[in-house]
Amino acid sequence: MTKRVYNFYPGPATLPLPALEKAKEELLNFMDTGMSILEISHRSKEYDELHNEAIANVRGLMNVPDDYKILWLQGGASTQFWQVPFNLQIDGKPMEYVNTGGWSKKAIKEAKYYGEVKVVASSEEDTFKYIPKDISFSDDAAFAHITGNNTLYGTEYQTWPKTAEDVPLVCDMSSNLMDQVIDVKDFGVIYAGAQKNLGPAGVTLLIIREDLIDRASEDSPTLFKWRTEVAKNSLFHTPPSFAIYISKLAMDYLKELGGVSAIEKINREKAKLLYDAIDESDGFYRGHARADSRSLMNVTFTLESDELETKMVAEGAKRDLVGLKGHRSIGGMRASIYNAMPLDGVKKLAEFMKEFREENQ
């Protein structure tokens, strides 16, 4: 029996076991080619089929309208932090950002190289415990940017802010892509590093409305421009084929479970188990995020002392509940319970939280 633990790390993160088992089974021989998917030409018909199935999975699961393109890129969300402003800025118009934590700040930092950045809302004054309400973007912004979910602080948008018709809303969904049903039409661009809620590290998903593809200046390096990859269906150069393959397998499993609406139900059940454990702990566990901003994906809390937190991380690991240490920016504990984390793992964690509290309160 292969040893497996419940992996609560924030990313790279747990993947669906059936996806890993399928990858293992065919690792030496993909689709009876006699070659590994790791060895196969990206110009072969077998790879082409897989590549397009991965795109079709995204389109089907997220109900992506026909006038949006779906791209597989490299370089992570960190690369999109500069590629978004490069591709979407308009001379003389501000780029407007909401600052909800470390990832927003990184995105803001890179945008400043491309023009005027306005931070229209922020929760920094209260250690990013909440998602600002009543966010108001200007009617003349080049675009509006938000971070859909904040892994460090455990906050997530519960409703999406509105923008004027001409102002595309851009969302970094690296840590909450497909965690619940959304209407893609609310967004101009969605981007996500795969390694949290979609697949392994090494590939970035981009969903972009067609009218936004042509803003970038022609007079710039070929790979700066999203439209280079749009024109070639993400095959302008060798794609990170294995990461796309694993993402495809993970989405196959999500489809089998019933798609995004089904996983949303499970995600809400999972999150409720942990938030209840916090709320019913009489202050033993102190939730970091405000109740109205709680993330379905990253549950953050602190304990009375660093010693107790260290003890909890160690005892969790003994029960095969690993990766519970919080990010250094706020310390404490964090349970990342992405789509691929089974309900059973969260039940085990909730039980452990109860027992640990009883023993240490």
Q: Does 220 bind its own copies (CB under 8 A)?
A: yes
Q: Does 78 bind its own copies (CB under 8 A)?
A: yes
**Of 50 and 277, which CB lies nearer to its own copies in the complex structure?**
50
Residue in 69, 72, 103, 270 annotated catalytic: 103
The answer for residues whose C-beta is within 8 angstroms of residue 341's C-beta and 6 or more apart is 6, 7, 8, 13, 14, 270
Query: 112 an active-site residue?
Result: no
d(CA 310, CA 1): 30
Q: Does 11 bind its own copies (CB under 8 A)?
A: yes
**Of 188 and 200, which CB lies nearer to its own copies in the complex structure?**
200
**Of 154 and 323, which CB lies nearer to its own copies in the complex structure?**
323
DSSP character string of 79-140: HHHHHHHHHH--TTS-EEEEE-SHHHHHHHHHHGGGS-EEEEEE-GGGTT-SPPSS----TT
Q: Cβ 22 to its own copies, closest distance in Å?
A: 10
Quick one: CA torsion of 134, 184, 88, 95, rounded to 10 degrees? 10
Query: 160 an active-site residue?
Result: no
Q: Does 147 bind its own copies (CB under 8 A)?
A: no
Q: Does 23 bind its own copies (CB under 8 A)?
A: yes
Q: Cβ 84 to its own copies, closest distance in Å?
A: 11
DSSP 28: S
Contact residue for its own copies among 18, 60, 74, 181 (CB under 8 A):
74
**Of 33 and 138, which CB lies nearer to its own copies in the complex structure?**
33
d(CA 236, CA 341): 34
Closest CA to 147 of 135, 138, 139: 135
The beta strands (E) that lie in 94-252 are given as: 95-99, 117-122, 143-147, 149-150, 155-156, 169-172, 189-193, 204-209
DSSP character string of 291-344: GGGB-SSEEEEE-S-HHHHHHHHHHHHHTTEE--BPPTTT-SEEEE--TTS-HH
Residue 273 CB-half CA count within 13 A = 21
The answer for residues whose C-beta is within 8 angstroms of residue 231's C-beta and 6 or more apart is none
Q: Cβ 349 to its own copies, closest distance in Å?
A: 15
Contact residue for its own copies among 52, 127, 158, 238 (CB under 8 A):
238
Closest CA to 69 of 239, 228, 242, 178: 228
Q: Does 237 bind its own copies (CB under 8 A)?
A: yes
The type of residue at 86 is F
Q: Considering only 123-131, 195-203, 205-213, 275-283, which stretch makes contact with its own copies by CB under 8 A?
A: 195-203
Q: Does 231 bind its own copies (CB under 8 A)?
A: no
Q: Does 38 bind its own copies (CB under 8 A)?
A: yes
Residue for token pair 């936004």: 212
Q: Does 130 bind its own copies (CB under 8 A)?
A: no
Contact residue for its own copies among 167, 178, 203, 353 (CB under 8 A):
203
Q: Considering only 120-128, 233-241, 272-280, 306-314, which stretch makes contact with its own copies by CB under 8 A?
A: 233-241
Number of residues that bind its own copies (CB under 8 A): 66
Q: Does 34 bind its own copies (CB under 8 A)?
A: yes
Contact residue for its own copies among 233, 322, 331, 348 (CB under 8 A):
322
Contact residue for its own copies among 52, 136, 222, 329 (CB under 8 A):
222
Residue for token pair 């590549």: 51
Instruction: Map residues 264-303 to x or -, x wherever contact with its own copies holds by CB under 8 A.
Output: ----------------------------------------
Quick one: 344 exposed, middle or buried, by C-beta within 10 A (0-12, 13-18, 19+)?
A: exposed
Query: 172 an active-site residue?
Result: yes
> Which residues are identified as catalytic?
103, 172, 196
Residues forming the site for its own copies (CB under 8 A) = 2-5, 7, 9-15, 17, 20-21, 23-24, 27-29, 32-36, 38-42, 44, 74-79, 81-82, 109-110, 113, 193, 195, 200-203, 219-224, 236-243, 246, 320, 322-323
